[in-house]
Amino acid sequence: MPQYYIGVDVGTGSARAALVSTDGSTVQTTVEPIQILNPQPSFYEQSSDDIWRAVVVVVNAVVKKSGVAPSEVKGLGFDATCSLVALDADYQPVSCTPTEKCHNIVMWMDHRAEKEAARINTTQHSVLRYVGGTMSLEMQPPKLLWLKEQLPEQWKKMSHLFDLPDFLTWRATGSFTRSLCSLVCKWGYEAKGADEHGWNDDFLQRIGLEELIENKYSRIGSKALTPGEACGSGLSSQAAKELGLLPNTAVGTSLIDAHAGAVACLACVPADLPCPLPPVTSRLALICGTSTCHMVVSKDPVSVPGVWGPYYSAIVPGLWCNEGGQSATGKLIDFIVESHAAYASAKENAKQKKVHLYQYLNTVLEDKAAGQSIPVCQLTSDLHVYPDFHGNRSPLADPSMKGMVSGLTLSSTEENLALLYLATVQALTYGTRHILDEMNRNGHKIEILYLCGGLRKNSLFVQTHADALGVPVILPDAQETVLLGAAILGARASGNFSDIQSAMLAMGGGGKVVLPQTSHRQYHEKKHAVYMKMLSDQRAYASIMRD
C-alpha cells in the first residue's frame, strides 16, 4: 500500500499544505489565506482560531483532491512563523492588544517591543551568547515583557504561551511538548548539548519574567523534543475528525518555517554540479519570502556577532545552527514597486502580456541594457539602495536602521521603476553578502548557496546572488521546499525512518545549478563598497542628530 505524508506550512499571509510521497514527490498542494491585522504602527497580529480554520481547510483539501485514502497518510508535520500565541486556562484566545478582543497572536514581524529588547540586552546575560550577543525584538522574551507591563490584566489570563509551530502540534495532538527549534531560537532556552538544555531561571528573573518559572514552567513548556520526534500519541480524535484523517496518525515535532526550508534544502543533491558537493556544514540555505533567513549548520558551536545562534539541534539533531536574516525581502521589493508612480501601468502591461509583474520588469531591464550594450547589472551605476527599511536583523542586529536611496531623479516612468527594482534586488544581495562575510570571518566556510521560497522564481534575484556572492546557487527541484521540510517531519515521526537525516536523504531530491558570471564580479564589488559606505553614512547622520 502506498504511503504519504502531509506537510503544513503557516506562513505570514497563508496556510499551505502538501501531500508528499515517500520519495519526496509532491502529489498535491493547496493554500488558504489568513488574516494579518495592523491596528497601529509596528503592531502585527493574527488569530489562532483563524489560523487553525485555515489549516483544517488545506489539509482536507489536499487529501480530497489527491484521492488518497486517510489510511495511507502515515505522518503529519507542521512549520510556522515564529509568532507568539496566548491562551487562557480554558485554552481560549487572550487578546494581545488593547483595542481588539480576538487577536491573540503577536506576529514575528511585530516591532512593539523595541524598548523591552534593549533592556534585556543591557543585562549582558550569558544566555545572550546563543543569540549572537543581542536579543532581537522579534524574539519572544521582549514581547512577553511588553505584554506583562502594558497589558497586565490580559497577562494574568495568559496560562499557555506557545510559539506558533508548537501551538499547531498541541492543537493537533493535545501534547504540551515544545520543539527544541522554537525554544532555543526564539525563547532564550539554553541548549549546550544533547543532555544539557533547559530554562535559565536566573535569566528569566533578571529580565522580569520570573512568574514563568512557576509550576514547573507550565506556561511555556517543560519538555523539549528535537525536530521530527513524535508528539504524544499522534492526532487526537477531535483533530483527526476536523482534518479528515485517522486518529493517532503520527505528528512530528515542528519547526520554524525557515528551518523547515533548510531541512529540505540541505539534503538536495543536484546532478549537474560541476564540482564535488561540499559537506553539509559548508552549505548555506537562503529561505526567501516576506523576509529572508540564512541558515548554516556546523559540528561545533560558532558564535557570530549579530547573527542568531549557535543553536543546538535547531535544524538537524546533533548539529549546531547559525541563522542570519533580513527582516524585509519580498516585502521590500513589493513595497518599492507598488509605491512607484508607474506601478499601475507596469501591472497592466504585465497582465496584457500574461506574465508576472517582475518578469515584465526583468524584460524592461533586458531591453534597456541591450540598447546600451551593457549587462543588466550595470544599469544601476548611479542608483543605489540601502535595504533596511524594517531595521537590520543581521549582522548589525539594529532595528533602528532605515532604508536609503541615492540617485533619484524626477522620472516616474516604467523604466525608472525597473531600475529602482533592480537596485533593490542588488541591495538585498549585498545585505546577504554582509551576513556571509561575517559568518566566514568567524569560523564558517560557506562554498555553496541553496535558495528556496517565492523569490527562487525570479531569475534576476537568483542570478544576482550567484554573481555578487561568487558561489553556485542551487534551486531545489521541489518547488515548495518549506512544505517538503514539514512533510519530512511527519515522515520521521511515522517510524518509517530511523532519524530525520535518513528522511532528508530519501526525500530531498535534486536541483538546478546557477553558476556565477565572473565577468560581473568587479562591478558588484564596487556596488558592495557603496552599500557599506551608505551603512556608515547612515550611522554618521544618526550621530550628528544625537549630538
- Residue 317 has a pLDDT of 87
More confident residue, 453 or 380: 380
Identify which of 533, 114, 536 has the alpha carbon closest to the alpha carbon of residue 544: 536
Q: For the chain, report the end-to-end CA distance as a whole number of angstroms.
A: 73
From CA 529, how far away is CA 535, in angstroms rounded?
10
What is the maximum alpha-carbon separation in the chain?
Answer: 73
Mean per-residue pLDDT, 484-499 = 96
CA 196 to chain centre: 26
> Is residue 178 pLDDT above 70, yes or no?
yes
Count of C-beta atoms within a 10 Å radius of residue 153: 9
- Residue 453 has a pLDDT of 87
> Is residue 24 pLDDT above 80, yes or no?
yes
Count of C-beta atoms within a 10 Å radius of residue 275: 9
Mean per-residue pLDDT, 489-515 = 94
Q: Could you say which DSSP state residue 376 is in? A: G
| Phi and psi based region of residue 300 (left: phi greater than 0; alpha: psi -120 to 50; beta: remaining) | beta
More confident residue, 167 or 289: 167
From CA 39, how far away is CA 46, in angstroms rounded?
11
Which residue blocks in 18-136 are alpha helix, DSSP H? Answer: 48-66, 114-122
- Residue 252 has a pLDDT of 98
> Is residue 429 pLDDT above 90, yes or no?
yes
Mean per-residue pLDDT, 470-496 = 95
DSSP lists the bridge partners of residue 204 as none
From CA 200, how far away is CA 363, in angstroms rounded?
54
Q: What is the pLDDT of residues 110-156, one digit of tens each?
A: 999 999 999 999 999 999 998 888 899 999 999 999 999 999 999 99
Confidence of residue 478 (pLDDT cuts 50, 70, 90): confident
Contact predicate 503/491, CB 8 Å: yes
CA distances from 489 to 228, 229, 256 (A): 4, 8, 12
From CA 363, how far away is CA 172, in angstroms rounded?
46
Mean per-residue pLDDT, 300-310 = 93
* Sheet containing 45-46: order of strands: 45-46, 105-106, 84-87, 160-163
Burial (Cβ within 10 Å: 0-12, 13-18, ≥19) of residue 519: exposed
Single-letter amino acid code for the residue at 24: G
- Residue 102 has a pLDDT of 74
From CA 127, how far away is CA 208, in angstroms rounded?
15
Answer positive or negative: Cα dihedral of 438, 443, 444, 447: positive
Confidence of residue 98 (pLDDT cuts 50, 70, 90): confident
> Is residue 100 pLDDT above 70, yes or no?
no
Mean pLDDT over all residues of the chain? 95
Count of C-beta atoms within a 10 Å radius of residue 534: 21
Contact predicate 34/14, CB 8 Å: yes
DSSP lists the bridge partners of residue 86 as 161
Domains contained in the chain, CATH given: 4-254 (3.30.420.40), 259-325+437-518 (3.30.420.40), 330-435+523-546 (1.20.58.2240)
pTM: 0.88
> Is residue 521 pLDDT above 70, yes or no?
yes
> Is residue 33 pLDDT above 90, yes or no?
yes
| Listed range (44-48, 128-132, 139-143, 321-325) with the worst mean pLDDT | 128-132
